[in-house]
Amino acid sequence: MRMSETIAPDVITADVITTDVLVIGAGPVGIFAVFELGLLDMRCHLVDILDRPGGQCAELYPEKPIYDIPGYPVVGAQELVEKLMEQARPFSPVFHYSQMVETVARLPEGGFAVTTDLGTLFHAKVVVIAAGGGSFQPKRPPVPGIEAYEGTSVFYAVRRMEAFRDQDVLIVGGGDSALDWTLNLQPIARRVTLMHRRDEFRAAPHSVEQMRHLVAEGRLDLVLGQVTGLSGADGHLSGVHVKLNDGSARTIQATRMLPFFGLTMKLGPIADWGLNLHENLIPVDTEKFETSEPGIFAVGDINTYPGKLKLILSGFHEVALMAQAAKRIVAPGQRIVFQYTTSSTSLQKKLGVS
Amino acid sequence: MPKITFISAAGAEQTVEAEIGSTVMENAIRNMVPGIEAECGGACACATCHVYVDEAWYAKVGAPEPMEEDMLDFAYDVRPTSRLSCQIKVTAALDGLVVRTPERQA
């Protein structure tokens, strides 16, 4: 009897998404986990902070070549992600993008309740952390004392536009986020100043054109320079000190600042799940790649063990072994028959090739 | 082998031997030069290997490509001779190169 006949895949009841396995992180290793788990009849939901699959391959170096994927003398990072997605497709993984897992808690009946910052709730028999270098978060610019203003005057994203109404807003950056928010907040803010270190912008040309139009009409200030310091009191910003490109210094009146300095990776809420950690990595054994919490596994760059190498190919090996252990939790007592995809008619049926 | 001198924001100097064809960032990491983080490992995907090329060397090293210029937007205290050291390839002509590390990386 095939397992898929005994376990209903992805039963959705009362806003709870039920799944065999919840994979945290949709990078190359997380996606390949879908494949290895799928061969053993386990279904996966994946959560990723980015708005697309691929993790670092997609966010940091999509155009770069990788030379150490077995069988590929060279493969582009984005191309590898696309191939992995194709390989996982027979197992119908469900991706939940642009959100971050916040809590993981054990359920009384076994398994785990997992929640995200967007309020998605999962019940999973097994949790696999494939979070790479952690979650991509907006980068904090190295401006002295900026922490004191975060959340009150300095924001890295706009959650509520109303918080910017009638404020003096300084937006820093030259990419799409900086330009989009400049254009969106300009009508409601008291004054918007856009500051960038050069008079060239990475943002979409038509946004840049709109911005320049507003500047020409005197409805928006454009300043070429860099932030050097902040002034204010009790978390309330009053001015931003800047060094202009001609070398002179100036203070821009601002009660809100939105710096857009790209993304960096942070461990994030994983630190709060009660797992043993070692220097922001998750120690695992090398038989099952299980963490200090039974039923929670960690694979890829986020884990550590003697001899660990942060290579994509190491992650691929890890998920193959992890899947065997996960199977024993998802279907206790069921015998696992070792099979090759080359010759097993049962595996080929699952892959849709026979 | 060409020599590269790194000077920290505090003025500490460190001279290292660099293989032709390697990047300035790789030589900094190999020799544990403080002030170079290279978070992304040299993919021109962060701005944590930022250096100021010595004025006398800037013409020889050359200006950044557009992709590097975009990434420099994320660096701290960018100046006219700013470069990302992962994008500077060591050549025989760069023997004696002097670069300064910024007060902090982004």
- What is the pLDDT, as a whole number, of residue A262? 87
Please, which pLDDT band fits residue A224 given cuts at 50, 70 and 90?
A: very high
Q: What is the mean pLDDT of chain B?
A: 95
Taking the C-alpha atoms of residue A147 and residue A201, their distance in angstroms, rounded to an integer, is 27
Q: Is A6's pLDDT higher than 50?
A: no
* Phi, psi for residue A30 in degrees, rounded to 5: -60, -40
CB A21 within 8 A of CB A331: no
Span B50-99, pLDDT tens digits: 999 999 999 999 999 999 999 999 998 999 999 999 999 999 999 999 99
Taking the C-alpha atoms of residue A284 and residue A306, their distance in angstroms, rounded to an integer, is 9
Query: Is some CB atom of chain B closer than 8 A to the CB atom of A60?
Result: yes
- What is the pLDDT, as a whole number, of residue A4? 32
ipTM of this model? 0.83
Asked if A142 and B76 come within 8 Å (Cβ–Cβ), the reply is yes
CB A303 within 8 A of CB A328: no
Taking the C-alpha atoms of residue B4 and residue B36, their distance in angstroms, rounded to an integer, is 14
Sole residue written with tokens 């290997």: B49
Span A7-37, pLDDT tens digits: 344 444 458 999 999 999 999 999 999 999 9
Best mutation target among A66, A179, A196, A264 (most B Cβ atoms within 10 Å) is A264
Please, which pLDDT band fits residue A142 given cuts at 50, 70 and 90?
A: confident
Asked if A226 and B70 come within 8 Å (Cβ–Cβ), the reply is no
Question: Residue A316: how many CB atoms within 10 A of its CB?
Answer: 20
User: Closest approach of chain B CAs to the CA of A119, in angstroms?
Assistant: 31
Which residue from A195, A300, A165, A10 is spatially nearest to B73, judged by alpha carbons?
Answer: A195
Span A62-90, pLDDT tens digits: 989 999 999 999 999 999 999 999 999 99
Q: Is A96's pLDDT higher than 90?
A: yes
- Distances in whole angstroms, Cα of residue A174 to Cα of each of A71, A158, A204, A231, B84: 40, 17, 10, 23, 18
Best mutation target among B39, B74, B78 (most A Cβ atoms within 10 Å) is B74
Taking the C-alpha atoms of residue A238 and residue A50, their distance in angstroms, rounded to an integer, is 33
Residues of chain B in contact with residue A78, where contact means CB-CB under 8 angstroms, are none
Best mutation target among A197, A228, A245 (most B Cβ atoms within 10 Å) is A197
Span A312-324, pLDDT tens digits: 999 999 999 999 9
- Residue B80 CA from chain centroid, whole number: 14
User: Which structure tokens are listed for A41?
Assistant: 């009849």
Taking the C-alpha atoms of residue B87 and residue B34, their distance in angstroms, rounded to an integer, is 18
Q: What is A174-215 written as a DSSP string?
A: SSHHHHHHHHHHTTTSSEEEEEESSS---S-HHHHHHHHHHH
User: Closest approach of chain B CAs to the CA of A59, in angstroms?
Assistant: 9
Q: Say which of A174, A226, A261 has its CB closest to residue B77.
A: A226
Q: Please state whether beta strands A112-116 and A121-129 pair in parallel, antiparallel, or not at all (unpaired).
A: antiparallel
User: Closest approach of chain A CAs to the CA of B2, in angstroms?
Assistant: 28
Taking the C-alpha atoms of residue B64 and residue A352, their distance in angstroms, rounded to an integer, is 49
CB A60 within 8 A of CB B40: yes
Asked if A264 and B46 come within 8 Å (Cβ–Cβ), the reply is yes
Taking the C-alpha atoms of residue A149 and residue A128, their distance in angstroms, rounded to an integer, is 36
| pTM, entire model | 0.83
- What is the pLDDT, as a whole number, of residue B106? 82
Q: Please state whether beta strands B3-7 and B13-17 pair in parallel, antiparallel, or not at all (unpaired).
A: antiparallel
Residue A264's H or E segment, with its range, is: strand A263-266
Span A270-305, pLDDT tens digits: 999 999 999 999 999 999 999 999 999 999 999 999
The domains of chain B, with CATH numbers, are 3-100 (3.10.20.30)
Asked if B73 and A226 come within 8 Å (Cβ–Cβ), the reply is no
Taking the C-alpha atoms of residue A297 and residue A299, their distance in angstroms, rounded to an integer, is 7
Instruction: Give the B-side interface with A, CB within 8 Å.
Output: 39-40, 43, 45-47, 69-70, 72-74, 76-78, 104-106
Taking the C-alpha atoms of residue B2 and residue A42, their distance in angstroms, rounded to an integer, is 56
Query: Is some CB atom of chain B closer than 8 A to the CB atom of A229?
Result: no
- What is the pLDDT, as a whole number, of residue A56? 94
Residues of chain A in contact with residue B82, where contact means CB-CB under 8 angstroms, are none
Q: Give the A:B interface size as CB pairs under 8 Å.
A: 40
Residue B14's H or E segment, with its range, is: strand B13-17
User: Closest approach of chain B CAs to the CA of A226, in angstroms?
Assistant: 7
Q: Residues A122-134: what's their mean pLDDT?
A: 97
Which residue from A302, A294, A304, A352 is spatially nearest to A328, judged by alpha carbons?
Answer: A294
Q: What is the mean pLDDT of chain A?
A: 94
CA angle B85, B86, B87 (to 5 degrees): 90
